[in-house]
Amino acid sequence: MRTSHRVNATPCPLIREISKLAHTIPDIIHMEIGDFGKEFKEMHKEFIASLLAEATKEGYLNYTENNGLYELRSAIADYYKKQHNVKIEPENVVVTIGAMEGLFLSLLLILDAGDKILLPDPGYPNYTSESILVGAEPIYYSLDSNFHPNISDIATQAKKSKAIILNTPNNPTGAVYPKNVLKEIAEIAKENSLVVISDETYENIIFEKKHHTMLKFDDIRDNLIVVNSFSKSVAITGLRLGFIILPDGLSEITSKIQENIIASPPAMIQKAAVSLLENYKKITRKVTQKLKKNKDALLKKLHKLPKISYAPPKGGFYLFLNVSEYYSSSYKFAMDLIRAKRVAVTPGIGFGKNGEGYVRISYSSSYEEVLEGAKRIVEFLKEGGDKLAQQN
């Protein structure tokens, strides 16, 4: 069968290549993908199971409205009022199959074929692949030494762009953007009628600083879409539930797109999420505490390596580790590490050309796996890296 040009032109993220290989190797330590280890699943699996069972018993087995259960959309609006002191209405919310579908809906909503969209480099690779999939042309802005957006880069390219994607807390760098940086971007967006898509999926996983939602900037609310998810904050990636927050008047149009993709997210998961939001702060605090413990343990182990460098993660659950003093190719580093020490990490080149020389390490597996993975990485580099890989 001949496949479409659109599909053929869409790149497959390198994360998936590494993960696919890792699943064929016994005794592998998974630090390549943004998912959670057993400890996190054990934290509240019985609570989640009870919510799903209760929703099923109550008969939540049918389609819902395309934009999601009104009860859940109302609960999300209440959450934003309490968490961020911003006012949104249930009519501004569309419930999605994770943040991934939320992002895809957003791109379909605002972009035509050939439109340019500004993306971070390094940045989450699916921003590029989803943009290409809808026929848009990705162009990139760089990050500074703190992994904050390069404002002059954005200002220069905003004039020829239709939209920009921001991501804070950031994947892959762990950076949390300060308010003054976001304010400058909001001003550029207003001046250039630039649509801002703000991916705030990791908003509750904060170790330092504070997360600032772009919804705080009233001047761009008419040109702003916020993408969010339940997956990361409460460690339930497999339930695939997220949402987007839209300007007034766009929910019905977006629901038309939703109808032709998934119709609606599963009813019982949406119902469970209503109760989940009532316990959100308690659960997200526990998840963040465990992740901080993992992060601190990882950094303590890696301090034994004199030639590595990094910007300490302020949020999320990734460390973007500079290994350029050991390897010029991040892909070769990752492949050698898998072969020699059975630890999977993601090459920085998979996040854009500016990611070369780095690898992304996820510390969301169990505490013992993080310790063991860090130990093997240290051994790998102390024992010669590529030479060690050739022996295996």
The pLDDT of residue 53 is 97
First to last CA, the chain: 40
Q: What is the 3-state secondary structure (H, E, C) of 88-143?
A: CCHHHEEEECHHHHHHHHHHHHHCCCCCEEEEEECCCHHHHHHHHHCCCEEEEEEE
Nearest to 94 by CA among 329, 274, 254: 254
Q: What is the pTM of this model?
A: 0.96
Residue ranges in 173-279 assigned as alpha helix (H): 179-192, 251-259, 267-278
Identify whether the C-beta of residue 319 lies closer than 8 Å to the C-beta of residue 313. yes
Q: How far apart are CA 83 and CA 140, in angstroms?
A: 31
Nearest to 312 by CA among 155, 218, 173, 219: 173
* CATH code at 44-279: 3.40.640.10
List, in order, residues 6 or more apart from 180 with CB less than 8 Å away.
none
β 163-167/195-199 pair status: parallel
The pLDDT of residue 209 is 80
The pLDDT of residue 390 is 52
The pLDDT of residue 392 is 46
The pLDDT of residue 195 is 98
- What is the assigned CATH class of domain 5-43+282-391? alpha beta
> Domain locations in the chain?
5-43+282-391, 44-279
What string of pLDDT tens digits covers the 392 residues of the chain? Answer: 999 988 898 888 888 899 998 899 999 999 999 999 989 989 889 999 999 999 999 999 999 999 999 999 999 999 999 999 999 999 999 999 999 999 999 999 999 999 999 999 999 999 999 999 999 999 999 999 999 999 999 999 999 999 999 999 999 999 999 999 999 999 999 999 999 999 999 999 999 889 999 999 999 999 999 999 999 999 999 999 999 999 999 999 999 999 999 999 999 999 999 999 999 999 999 999 999 999 999 999 999 898 999 999 999 999 999 999 999 999 999 999 999 999 999 999 999 999 999 999 999 999 999 999 999 999 999 887 655 445 54
Q: How far apart are CA 99 and CA 230, in angstroms?
A: 8
